[in-house]
Structure 1
Amino acid sequence: MIRWILFALLFLILTIYGFQAIRTVTKQTWVYYLFFAVAIVVVGNFIFQFTSGNEGRVLTPSKSFAFGFLLTFMAFNIVLIPFLFGEDIIRGIIGLYDKVVVRKDEFHLPSRRKFVSQVALGLAAIPFGSLLYGMYKGKYNFRVLNYTLHFDDLPEAFHGYRITQISDIHSGSFDDKSKIEYAIDLINEQASDVLLFTGDMVNNKASEMLHWKDTFGRLKAKDGKFSVLGNHDYGDYVDWNSPEAKHQNLEDLKAIQKEIGFDLLLNESRYLEKDGQRLALVGVENWGKGGFKKAGDLTKAASEIQSDDFKILMSHDPSHWEAKVLNDPYHYHLTLSGHTHGMQFGIEIPGWIKWSPAKWRYKHWAGIYTELNQHINVNRGFGYLGYPGRVGIWPEITVIELKKGPKNA
């Protein structure tokens, strides 16, 4: 109850500041009514979605949209605060100076106040419009990102071998089947040799995937489809009736992955063979720093392979790479991860800028990183979670081509 009261007070303060800017710019009363009507609908729907129903902590699409609209409205008002608050301070200082030193009885600077409000509203419109676009279009703005990685010890038969990686499907969030069908076709068009999925098939429950089995069952790759589990796949964020129900949910998800055609690696390995040569594919269960599940067992997963094998590791959380993988006695040439989603918000202009709030939480949050002659690719995610959209950090299909020899050869 206290949390809701504090939330209501914060929302009220932000809304009042937003209204002050609008009132300064226009005298049209219908605009005032519209502004407050939007505020009431947004906060009312948010409170209703998160206090009613029996889903518990399950983040349904309706809850996601309620959160998305709340985030959009609050972002609009938050941008206004530094301008208006700063203007209030300046006006107060100047007004006090004029009254005490110059001893004027009245102090008005309406033209400057209006100008500041106009500038603030113009800037606030940027995140407001961007977040709405992210919910309407951005979440299905699928991008194919191509990388070429060179290795001196890559088996000759795998020169030119192509890997498609997808991650973080989060099927419980989808609301447009035609867009997902398009993305599946886009994945298949890459015609890669192998397809690797690096975890988080669902938000919470295996049942979320039932509607999408046929769609994702169309995925194909010549040398097979392999997967690992992500932190959301274990059902840890749901209040289950019993431990047995939670266990059964995980077993159901494993069965669904098998029905779709994925070979799920649970701290296991497989060999991919070509022309009498092979590379080792290793898959661990989720291992993440902080409060995330640490079920991944790298030693167990690699128990059936050789130390001199060329190795590709699938591990959902990129924090595993720095904490455990880089200094493991076995040299993992390439690690594939996801998990971060790039926080579904940021700015990326290739060759110029790559920024997201995700960088404050994860050292390796999107794209290719290289340390100790080992590579990791952190996929930005196929789906979305929480905020039902993406801004600047688009849903990703990664295609990695392996090359033998030095990069400049």
Structure 2
Amino acid sequence: MRWIITVVILLALEVYAFQAFKTLFKFWWSLSAYVVITVVVVGLMIYSFYQPSPHGSLTGFRAYMIGIFLSVVAMKLSVIVWMFGEDIVRLFMFAYSKLFTSSVENLPSRRKFISTIAIGLGAIPFLSLLYGMYRGKYNFKVLSYELEFDNLPEEFDGYTVTHISDIHSGSFGNTEEIEYAIDLVNEQGSDMILFTGDLVNNLAEEMKPWTPIFSQLKAKDGVYSILGNHDYGDYYDFKSKVEKQENFESLVKVHSNLGWDLLRNEHREIKRGESKLQLIGVENWGKGGFKKAGDFEKAAEGVDSKDFKILMSHDPSHWDEVIKHHEKDVQLTLSGHTHGMQFGIEIPGWFKWSPVQYRYEQWAGIYQNAKRFINVNRGFGYLAYPGRVGIWPEVTVIKLKRKSISEA
């Protein structure tokens, strides 16, 4: 039933959008080309869902067809908004003429210049989404922050952390771009590299071709990682529970093969002289139907509330629901998960918007509650839509600074 409703809505939108092109392009061949392109795109997208998909996910040919389909739909929706606005004006003009004048004219016809504007503006999201698939998904950005804490041990003043998240290796297809990104991470020369989950889309084997590259990540105090919601294989139709468990165990082993220290509801103590920093890592904990395997109480067992703590938790809703008011006083939480929806508009220091903000209050960048911070990484990879527009793949570098006594 849902499919029928969806098809009916899409057909209605299609008929409406066609009116704009019909107004602008009078030649039969141009209108025929419009119809053919629409039919081919829709047909190939439907065809892609009947083809084998790598690792049972929205990747490969299927993902690209979804991306192209979304590009076309975005253009038509933009056109529809303008055409609908003009139709409202036309209806008011018609009603006014009938009620207050003696005019016998029919409903005013659509104006060609409005159709031209509508199609011109519709080309912006269309081309943007196509660019996002071609280049945007590998447009890696290094975002640097300096955060001050009044209880940071002096020995850790200036300590740097590189934060990456949401690799989704099953979506990758360009080795050179990924090698470049790994070099970019290493070039930051941070004391520690932290990865906050979603190594794969579904299956451990997705990392097989990428293990030699990601194993090159190095930092003085090591590379640490946690699990994200996609790492449990919950979105794949396994033949049995045994097969699913074997996949999960293989995924855990991948972290070891990479030389990463996987934290599963546990913590590590990082020392500088007589001082220490507590690194805590929990399994996935997310509201709204996402897996809640994370156990902060277990992970932080034995950690003093006075210790300086960094928490790795994949889903930022965990910070919002549990951590930001927790008595253990976690000074810095690192998360990912949202990808910034891989689509949005950002003007650094001025404006930041993405549809995902209506689902997650903390969705990209640094947020603060009292003296507690969270950084939500925009993600290293991509999923479903094989691209990024405005919300670029991110490598975060955070420098920890001790607040002076006079400032504190």
Q: TM (normalized to structure 2)?
A: 0.95
- Deviation (angstroms), 1:99: 5.3
**CA–CA distance in structure 1, aligned partners of residues 68 and 314 of structure 2:** 29
**1:127-142 residue pairs with structure 2 within 5 A?**
127-142=125-140
In the TM superposition, residue 19 of structure 1 has moved relative to its aligned partner by 2.0
Measured against aligned partners, the alpha-carbon deviations of 1:270-302 in whole angstroms (never above 9, x if no partner) come to 011122321010000000011000000001001
Q: Distance in 1 between matches of 2:238 and 2:383?
A: 20
Distance 2:221 2:331 in 1: 20
Q: Which residue of structure 2 aligns with residue 46 of structure 1?
A: 45
Q: Tell me by how many angstroms 1:202 deviates.
A: 0.6
**Cross-structure match for 1:149:** 147
> C-alpha distance in 1, partners of 2:348/2:59?
34
Match of 1:391 in 2: 389
8 Å CA contact retained: 1:169, 1:381: yes
- Deviation of 1:388 after TM superposition, in Å, equals 1.0
- Change in 2 beyond 3 A, CA 1:24/1:225: same
**Counterpart for residue 218 of structure 1:** 216
Find the residue that maps to 2:242 and give its secondary structure: helix
Structure 1 stretches of 4+ with a deviation exceeding 6 A read none
Alpha-carbon distance in structure 1 between the residues aligned to 2:313 and 2:341: 18
Q: 1:407 to 1:119 in 2, by over 3 A?
A: farther
The answer to whether structure 1 residue 285 and structure 2 residue 283 are counterparts is yes
Q: Report which stretch shifted further, 99-108 or 148-157.
A: 99-108
Assess if the C-alpha contact under 8 Å between 1:151 and 1:403 holds in 2. Answer: yes
Cα deviations across residues 373-403 of structure 1 (Å, max 9, x unaligned)?
1111000100111111111111000000011
Cα distance change of structure 1 residues 385 and 408 upon mapping to structure 2, 3 Å threshold: farther
Q: Secondary structure at the match of 1:402?
A: strand
Aligned to 2:286, the other structure's residue is in SS state: coil
Question: What is the match of residue 37 of structure 1?
Answer: 36
Code of the aligned partner of 1:7: T
Alpha-carbon distance, 1:135 to partner: 1.0
Cα distance in 1 for partners of 2:23, 2:117 equals 12
1:319-378 C-alpha deviation (Å, 9 max, x unpaired)? 101211122221111000000111111111112111111110011111111113111100
Query: Aligned pair 1:15/2:44, yes or no?
Result: no
Contact 2:148–2:400, Cα closer than 8 Å, also in 1 = yes
Say if 2:208 is the partner of 1:204: no
SS at match of 2:209: helix
Matches within 5 A, 1:300-319: 300-319=298-317
What is the rounded CA distance, in whole Å, between the counterparts of 1:133 and 1:405 in structure 2?
A: 43
Q: Contact (CA 8 Å) 1:14, 1:74: kept in 2 or not?
A: no
- The 3-state SS of whatever aligns with 1:326 is helix
Q: CA deviation at 1:125?
A: 1.3
Asked whether the equivalents of residues 167 and 198 of structure 1 are also in contact (C-alpha less than 8 Å), the reply is yes
Q: What residue is the counterpart of 2:270 in the other structure?
A: 272
Do the aligned residues in 1 keep the contact of 2:91 with 2:107 (CA within 8 Å)? no
Match of 1:84 in 2: 83
1:352 to 350, 353, 362: 350
Counterparts of 2:47 and 2:315 in 1: how far apart (Å)?
33
Segment drifting more, 92-101 vs 370-379: 92-101
| CA contact 1:172–1:203 (8 Å) conserved in 2 | yes
- Shift in Å, 1:77: 0.8
CA distance in 2, matches of 1:56, 1:367: 31
RMSD: 1.9
1:368–1:278: structure 2 CA closer, same or farther, 3 Å change rule?
same
From the superposition, tell whether residues 140 and 350 of structure 1 become closer, same or farther in structure 2 (CA, over 3 Å): same
1:74 is matched with 73
Cα distance in 2 between the residues matched to 1:208 and 1:402: 34
Task: Give the whole-Å Cα distance in 2 for the aligned partners of 1:102 and 1:374.
Answer: 66
Cα deviation, residue 55, structure 1: 6.8
In the alignment, the residues of structure 2 paired with residue 96 and residue 394 of structure 1 have an alpha-carbon distance, to the nearest angstrom, of 48
Alignment partners' CA distance in 1, 2:53 and 2:334: 37
What's the secondary structure of 1:19's corresponding residue?
A: helix
Amino acid at match of 2:181: A
Paired residues of 1:285 and 1:296 also in contact (CA < 8 A): yes
* Letter matched to residue 278 of structure 1: K
Deviations 1:165-190 (A, max 9, x none): 00000111112111111100100110
Deviation at 1:93, TM superposition (A): 4.1
What is the SS of the residue equivalent to 2:193? Answer: strand
Amino acid at match of 2:198: D
Distance in structure 1 (CA, Å) of the matches to 2:11 and 2:46: 14
Distance 1:36 1:248, change over 3 A: same
TM-score of the two chains, using structure 1 as the length reference: 0.95
Deviations 1:252-280 (A, max 9, x none): 00111110111000000001112232101
Residue-pair matches, total: 407
Residues in 2 aligned to 1:55 and 1:288: alpha-carbon distance in whole angstroms: 26
Distance 1:42 1:356 in 2: 26
Alignment partner for residue 250 of structure 2, among 243, 249, 252?
252
- Give the aligned partner of residue 262 of structure 1: 260
Give the aligned partner of residue 361 of structure 1: 359
- Equivalent residue, structure 2, for 1:120: 118
Q: Which one is further off, 74-83 or 96-105?
A: 96-105
Deviations 1:73-110 (A, max 9, x none): 11111112222223234324433554566454543745
Stretches of structure 2 that go unaligned for 5 or more consecutive residues are none
Match of 2:170 among 150, 172, 179: 172
8 Å contact from structure 1 (residues 269, 304) kept in 2: no
CA pair 339-196 structure 1, distance change in 2 beyond 3 A: same
Question: 1:191-235 CA distances to partner (integer Å, 9 max, x unpaired)?
Answer: 111000000001111111111111111111111000000001001
Of 343-352 and 188-197, the range deviating more from structure 2: 343-352
One-letter code of the match for 1:209? Answer: M
- Is this contact kept in 1: 2:144–2:396, CA < 8 A? yes
Q: Offset at 1:27?
A: 1.9
